[in-house]
Amino acid sequence: MTATPVSLCANNAYVIESNSNSEVALLGGTPAFTEDLCVGRPNVPDRSAFMARMNAMFDSGRLTNLGPMVQEFEKQVARIAGTRHCVATCNATVGLELAISALGMKGDVIVPSFTFIATVHALWRQGITPIFCDIDPVTHCLDIASVEAAMTSRTTGILGVHLWGNMSATNELHDLAQRKGVKLLFDAAHAFACGTKQRAVGSFGDAEVFSFHATKFVHAFEGGAIVTDDGDLADRLRLMTNFGFADEDEVLHLGTNGKMSEPSAAMGLTSLEAMDSIIAHNKRNYAAYDVALKAVPGVRLQYRSMEDPHNYHYVVTEIDESVTGLSRDELVAALRLENVIARRYFYPGCHRMEPYSSLFPQARHTLPVTEEISRRVIILPTGQTVNEADIGRLVGRIAAIVRRAREVRQALAECEDRRIPSFTRRVEHPVNADAEA
């Protein structure tokens, strides 16, 4: 088994690095990067534009409570999502909790296990039982057959996730929800500005929830938004984000403090102004990864259409250990010594995290695709702080690590460097889940 080392020349052409196989930091080589190359490093838009908005905010004396910047941010998000209504929130987790409550979900709600833990916590914290369903092996979104098989008389809703910006099976889920008479909500935290040429993410189901956390390609420091075409639902959500207040001293609904602040909206608006350039940069990075990773056996880049709208925010790869000679975890660990902070999202699946692993110990038996994908996925760095030359160097180093897989595995077993993640030294969960006690 061999891997061809690659790098990027000044003319953006990939070439073979003849000595790349010796340049592995774990084996005594020089690290690929002098500073950390991280997944999720925030994009920083025009500081002068942001500070101008902050100065205007201070001059107005309006710092929160649905100020003019929040109202403008909501308007712009609704426009991009193609919806009539947008309710900005302090973060996406609160947005999910409010949307779930406003839709009247209770009892059982279908949800993927392969998602960020907040998706499931938003249900459980409101006394709703998450029913974990398996995912499609290509998109990593809910598998429609698994969803339909899991539905019972207790099911009141489906909470789908547009993972990595990939659209869930929206039409099929819509038809199923209509036929069963249940609510359909989408966690669209990854999928702002994604969709098809005909329809943007945001306009599906009863409502969708975006994240504008600092690690997202468009961010508001910390923030979220619920989008919907349902005016009555939007009105309820507006009440619920402000303690239920309809007027100065009139409370009409149970609520909380879920509002977005003006400083967050100021960053959100500034970030939106940079959105097109950020997407273009991410798209170039994705194309560079696409070319370079073809030279590395056993490392597969998840497909992205270059035609349909997408934010290209996540560079998702799957590792085939039978080809690379290294597990996903071993590759992640070896890259840490190259000062590359790649991540193993969303391991090991929510069904194996507390409290759900104790509550639903048998869930693993119904989630074979989730179990497999969670062991294979590695997210690689992108964003404004990563360029095509960085990608050439990074993929060249991945190729070198794979080329010397046997030596790398042995060195990892003996390495005491504190940068090596502890998870490489313990078995997280065996491939044969049925063998567990």
pLDDT tens digit sequence for 193-243: 999 999 999 999 999 999 999 999 999 999 999 999 999 999 999 999 999
* pLDDT averaged over every residue in the chain: 92
State the average pLDDT over residues 329-342: 97
Give the percent of the chain with pLDDT over 90: 88
Residue 79 has pLDDT above 50, yes or no: yes
Give all domains of the chain, ordered by start, each with its CATH number: 6-43+275-342+381-435 (3.90.1150.10), 47-273 (3.40.640.10)
* DSSP one-letter string for 308-366: S------EEEEE-HHHHSS-HHHHHHHHHTTTEE-B-TTTT-GGGSTTHHHH-TTGGGG
Q: Note the pLDDT tens digit of each residue in 116-125.
A: 999 999 999 9
Q: How confident is the model at residue 425 (pLDDT cuts 50, 70, 90)?
A: low
* Token pair belonging to 393: 């160097």
Name which of 103, 127, 95 is nearest 355 in CA terms.
127
Strands 299-301, 315-319: parallel, antiparallel or unpaired by DSSP? antiparallel
The Cα 121–Cα 118 span in angstroms is 5
pLDDT on residue 121 = 98
Query: Is a pLDDT exceeding 90 seen at residue 154?
Result: yes
Q: What is the pLDDT of residue 44?
A: 95
187 contacts 222 by C-beta, under 8 angstroms: no
Alpha helices in 31-128 (DSSP H): 47-60, 68-81, 92-102, 117-124
CA–CA gap between residue 87 and residue 164 (Å, rounded): 23
